[in-house]
Amino acid sequence: MSLSSTEKAILGVNLAEWENEFGSFATEHGLLPRTPTTESARTEGAILDDKLQRLLDTKFEAELAQEQNPDAVFSWKNPFALLNEAEFKRHVAISFERDGQQFLNGTNEVEVAPPASHREAAVDWSTRCNPPVREQGECLSCWAHAAVGVAEAAHCIATGNLLSLSVQQVTSCSTKGGSAGCNTGFPSYAIDYAAEGLCMDSAWPYRGQTGTCNNQCTKQRLAIGASTHTSGESGLMNALNKQPVVVTVASANSVWKNYVGGVVSACPAARSDHAAIAVGYDGQSYKIKNSWGTRWGDGGYIYLRANAGGRGTCNVAEDVSFPKLGASPDQPNQPNHPNQPNEPNQPNQPNQPNHPNQPNHPNQPNQPNHPNRPNHPKQPNRPNQPNHPNQPNQQNQPNRPNHPNQPNQPNHPNQPNQPNHPY
């Protein structure tokens, strides 16, 4: 399609505006057109014309999406504006197929939906136990981002402690079911992997590559169980009453590409190709947290129309997975640290003053040579009842100082020299 001089002038201004706002971000995250091997042979004018044409195509896409979704807002001012349809699909879409069939929810327990009367009219987890919006980059690791995000949220709900866990560990190490790092993956299996414990993001930061599974960092025990799943909008809302959940959606389309706000009510019919996190609903829409960074959408979020029936808007209710909420672990911060196996509930620490094998403990300076016990030199390790003839092993009775058979202890009615008795 040949552009007129007027179109080129207008688009040139638009392109300059886009490059000023998104150029550096697009370059850093691989959101620019692929450079052909013959690029060096193209003239500067031809390269510019190609960019202008791409921008014009994106404008048309946004206008069409707007017509189909009157309650949403779409714009060419987005990070993906210079990607054509095929390039955008390669950037965001993964396949949930296994052995030639669509495979989403794994084999774990199916959630039985309680009556609708038991759920809230509106829920928004983005205000509590909500990790920041992440950016997956060119790596097709949405499945790992979504699984880690719901694991973080579930652990926070159970313990009150919001951790930042390693998405890279899941991307590199969770391979069950055919998950393959930056190529494809299955959220339910990733949740199961996370339930076994994850390293902190600071110990294993995200690299945007499949990488190698070389887990040398300390795993954090999480208060979550294995994944479970549900489907349908009733099941989705019921699950959201408890926690954020992973949803699979159809995202490789102009609606998601150009979305900037409002409520989406129509998506092109397609198979689910992306995993994201549902964090709430209000009766009219579902609030979805994506992993395309905060410069996309409404601060990294998209709203999808509720009560659409079937699989839901953009397939949002087709498959919903989430970890079971578990009990708080004894050591939520460093449970598996080799130097902290029994903390903080170890009752038999070495500072117990009456241990029979610690006669010279520094907290018992007056026990072996007590001046009022000259007749019992052979009992230095029985400071509590050294003179009672019938109770040689009663070490844990500190409040019996005036026994009639202990005439030599008149000056110690309250036993002031035994302040460290554990009882």
Question: Closest Cα partner for 274 from 242, 243, 297?
Answer: 297
Is 199 catalytic? The answer is: no
Contact 184, 178 (CB under 8 A): yes
Catalytic-labelled residue, pool 105, 290, 315, 354: 290
Q: Residue for token digits 């669509």?
A: 102
Q: Provide the 8-state DSSP code for 80.
A: T
The Cα 123–Cα 278 span in angstroms is: 11
Q: Provide the 8-state DSSP code for 125.
A: G
Give the H or E element holding residue 389.
Answer: none
Pairing of strands 320-325, 224-230: antiparallel
Is 155 catalytic? The answer is: no
* CA dist 181 → 9, 125, 217, 282, 326 (Å): 43, 28, 19, 34, 27
Catalytic-labelled residue, pool 105, 274, 314, 354: 274
How deeply is 228 buried, as exposed, middle or buried, from its count of CB atoms within 10 A (0-12, 13-18, 19+)? buried
Contact 195, 150 (CB under 8 A): no
The Cα 167–Cα 133 span in angstroms is: 12
Question: Closest Cα partner for 287 from 296, 275, 276?
Answer: 276
Question: Closest Cα partner for 74 from 313, 285, 254?
Answer: 254
Contact 252, 267 (CB under 8 A): no
Is 274 catalytic? The answer is: yes
How deeply is 164 buried, as exposed, middle or buried, from its count of CB atoms within 10 A (0-12, 13-18, 19+)? middle
Catalytic-labelled residue, pool 142, 156, 173, 199: 142
What SS3 class is residue 228?
Answer: strand
Helix axes 187-195, 142-159, angle to 10 degrees: 40
How deeply is 34 buried, as exposed, middle or buried, from its count of CB atoms within 10 A (0-12, 13-18, 19+)? exposed
Residues marked as catalytic? 142, 274, 290
